[in-house]
Structures are given as C-alpha cells and as structure tokens.
Amino acid sequence: MEHLLPSPRVAVPASGYFTFSPGDLIAGPEPLTRAVRLALAVLDLREAAGNAVVQVVEDPALGSEAYTLEIAEDGIRIVAGGVAGAFYAAQTIRQLLPVDAYRSVRLPRAAWVVPCGRVEDGPAVPWRGVHLDVSRHFLPKREVLRMIDLMGVHKLNMLHLHLVDDQGWRVESRAYPRLHEIGSHRSRTTTSYYREDLAYDGIPHGGHYTLDDLSEISAYARERAVTVVPEIDVPGHASAILAAYPELGAKPGERYEVLDRWGISSAILSPLPATVNFLTTVFDEIIDALGVVPFFHIGGDECVLDDWAASEDIAAHQNDLGLATPGDLHAWFLRRLADVLADRGVRAVVWDEAFVSGRLREDTVVMPWRGMNVARRAVAAGHQVVLTPVFPLYFDYAEAGSAEEPLAIGEAITVSDVAGFAPVPEGWDAAERERVAGVQFQLWSERIPDARTLDYRAWPRGCAVAEIAWTGAPAQNPPAQDNPTQDTPAQDSLTQDIPTQGFAARLAAHLPRLDALGVEYRPLNGPRPWQRGGGWRAHRPGMLSVRDVTAHLDELTHAADSTRPSV
C-alpha cells in the first residue's frame, strides 16, 4: 500500500492477498455499486443481492467523498460517505491491482491480486481542480471526456471549462446562433513568440460544443465524481462575442474579428442592460444543458475600460447608477451577473481582478491567480478562494529552461515546484485557512495546440496537484528534477535518480499506470525525442521567467492594481 497516489490518510497493510475472479459479485446500494463498477470496469464485477465478495455500505457521516476500505483474503468491504466516496475507494483498489488494471480490456496474463489491509481516506479540501482553456485552441469533445477520466483516476473533482475568450466562442447558443456560427473559428493563428514580430500559420482553426455535447460532458463527469464549472469570461476578452454581435460592444459601429493572436485586447462588452439580458439568456442555456451547476465562472479579468470611459451612453448609465468611475461600473456589472446566477441557485466565481473592486457578493468564490497576497486579502474580506497562482500552478510554463522543450510561455515550473506548494497556507490563521476551498492547475492553451501537448503539459505535474490537494499539505520527498536553466536531454530511464521514499517513490510507481492509460506525459528527466520542440514550436529559453512574472504581479496586487501586462 506504499505506492498509492494521492496518499491516503491512513493505510495499514495486513498479511495475505485477495484475488479477483471473472464475474465476481458486488452488493450494496445501487448508486454506490455502480460507481465502483465504473472505476473497476476491467474486473467486470456483477451486481448481486446479499452475499458478494465485494460489499459496499453507505455511511453519510463520513462525508460524501470519504471512505474506508477493508481488504481481507475472503472479500472486500467498502464503507463510503456517498457515490464519490465509493468511486474513490474503487480507484484505490485499482492502484493496488497490477498496472494492467489501467488498460482498456482485461489481459489474460494479468493476475488480479490486491494486498490485504485497511485504508481510511478523504480529501483535505473540496475543490481539486483542472482548468482547461478550450478557447485559444479548441479540444474536441473526446479529449474533454478523456481529461475527466484522468481526473477521476487522480481524485480531482472540478473541471473548469474556459469556454470563451478573444480567440473563440466554444458553445452552441440557440438563442444567439451567430455566437457559434461566427465566433467559434478564426482564419489563422499567430506563430510568434513573446515580443517577436507577428507571423501567422495561415491555417483555419475552430470548433464548438453543442448544448447536447455539454449535457453529455456534464453527465459523464458526474458519474466520475467530477463537477463541470463553465466559464463565460466577461466583460473583457470579448472579440469572439463582438465578432458575432458587435452591437453589444462599447463602441457602436465598430466591427470585430475573432482574434488570431495572443495577449490582451481592448474588445469589451457594454455594461448596459441589453448586455445583461443577453448574458442572462446565454447563462440559462448553459445551466440548462449542464443540469447540475453549483458554480459558474464569469471572469472579470484583464479588462481595458477605455471604451467605457469614452462612451456617452455608458457614462450616462454609470451616473444613473451613482457610480464614480468606470472601475466602479466594472464592479457593478460583475455583481449584477452574480446576482442573476444567485437567483438560479448558482454561485459566481471570478478571477482576482474582480475582487479588488470590493463590490462582490460575499458568496462569490475568488481565484487569485496573481499570487498569495491578493488571496489573503480575499479571504480576509470573507470570500472563499481557490488557489490558482501563476507560480506554480500555470502549466503553460515549461518544465525546464531548455531549447529541447516544446514552445511555452516561459519557464520553469517543475514537478518539485508543484509538489512543494502548500494548498492550505501554513502562515494563515485558522479562520483564513477555513476559507480556502481548494487548489487548481491551469492549462492555458495559447501554446497547447493539441491533445498530445496537453498530456505533456498536464502530467505528471497534475499528479503533484492531486497529491497536495487531497492531503492538504506539500508533498514529502518530491522527485529530483532536471535543472531548469540547463539543457535536459531525454533519458532511457524515466525514474533515474529518483529517491525511494515519499512522493517521489509513489510518483515513480504511478508513471507506468499513465503509460498503460496511454498518457503521453513528460518524463521526469526531459522530453522524449518526439516530444522536443522544433521549428517555430521550439521553446526560447530565458525569454520569460515565471518567477519574474510572479514578483511583478505581486507588486501589482500589493498596490491593488486591477490590471496586468500581457505576458
């Protein structure tokens, strides 16, 4: 039981083994046994009433995601707080099985044996998230479903879907069809690196999910103990929306195109009532499609308010509301949308720029991406926070400062950096710590053009997030990493020089599971030959340091600045 990832609260091994046989029986409450069978599909467990080698019992007192697992030579007993707890208990059993349990079918040579013992487990924080930006580069539905599968394997439970940005609108709207007909595609995409002259690939890019796709994604996620958190980022980052409906913009008569480059644009929605009505309709479509929506992210970040200040109509609206500045109007607009969501029983989530306005609903969740200073200010103001700091949770940064890495925004964020992060900050007082809802890693996709690159960026750093989020503490004995300032040629051994204890050892044992799942992760010693960057997709080492960016953002948030430079 020493190689479980994430690490359980209690794991006590015992002598002996339990052996699964084809068609073994499972008994218990049907929603819970269904969750176990789904996680252990390779075993082909059969439902039974009464006697069965796998017994599942529900005990809500444990908490919905908690469980106890007892493995004896004559059977297995799971006591789960809810469906999620049963699913996670089964994921623990899967890790105790041979690696072939992670393949799509049962191989005849496999011995389906698990060691005896007892596990008592449950997560430290309720939000253990993955942010997936499908706007900059669209990912087909199959890749979203695959990410949900991988989240389930790692006991991650919140999928934050970034559905709109300047570079694309990614969901069908039956009320406003031009959103997906026009806003979902662009004619080309920039190939330029940071601060280079603009160049383009000349290749059309696009795609969107139908509302039925969203319904399917949400239902698929719920079966795997994952909640989908949609994001419609407003009022900035609005080029794709305004390409479809320019009348919603702050500059009447202006024409927009879906943006084909990265960075912050000046495109911004008008804050007038027509825009609120438009967004209310769109929110309702998405909420109805997803079915279960406890949270809805409304963005609020990186807004250029110049066009609001220059508009007579918007200035008049601002005065009618008794607001002094466009910044106050930005805060009012986001509060108005949060109220719309609250009327539907949904809590708003925002990036931290929206927090500094001081006008948020108290139940609004803040994602402080600009660092721990603004995070602490948010919790001091009474908000729950999901920690999302650039360092070390922005996985669009490279794992090493090497030309052999594929193109990234900058460097470096290693597995060790992630594993060393405290998801519940140790220096905060008890009241502040209680307001930490959890932690989430971000996969911004400007430089993640496809699913293979997504695998490379997400894993195994995502394994480290799974560890710290589940346990609530930095990992012990993180793996030795390549030097982020040196070239790091790939090695034959994926675990070379890795310690034999703690998180490093458990990660080393976990990587073959990822291999069996077909995950094209980044080996700890550097990229494989076919994963290396090349051509315009080669990384430029030394151009942008994540630590320099983080220090600059920290200075901005100290000054309560609500803007940031484009990085």
The β-bridge partners of 131 are 160, 442
Q: Is 237 a catalytic residue?
A: yes
CATH number of 127-558: 3.20.20.80
Catalytic residue selected from 302, 352, 396, 467: 302
Output the pLDDT for position 193: 86
> CA 207, CA 154: separation in Å to the nearest integer?
28
Give the contacts of 440 (CB within 8 A, at least 6 positions apart): 127, 128, 129, 130, 131, 158, 160, 367, 386, 387, 388, 393, 465
Output the pLDDT for position 181: 98
Q: Is 44 a catalytic residue?
A: no
Output the pLDDT for position 481: 61
Catalytic residue selected from 208, 237, 297, 510: 237
Which pTM does this prediction carry?
0.94
Catalytic residue selected from 65, 133, 165, 405: 165
Architecture of domain 10-121: 2-Layer Sandwich (3.30)
3-state secondary structure of 177: coil
Output the pLDDT for position 383: 96
pLDDT digits (tens, 9 = 90+) for 81-131: 999 999 999 999 999 999 999 999 988 877 899 999 999 999 999 999 999
Output the pLDDT for position 558: 65
Q: Are 309 and 326 in contact (CB under 8 A)?
A: yes
Q: Is 181 a catalytic residue?
A: no
> CA 230, CA 104: separation in Å to the nearest integer?
29
Output the pLDDT for position 530: 96
Environment class of 134 (CB within 10 Å of its CB; exposed 0-12, middle 13-18, buried 19+): buried
- Answer whether the bond into residue 412 is a cis peptide, omega within 30°: yes
Residue stretches of the chain with pLDDT short of 70 = 481-501, 558-567
Domain ranges in the chain? 10-121, 127-558
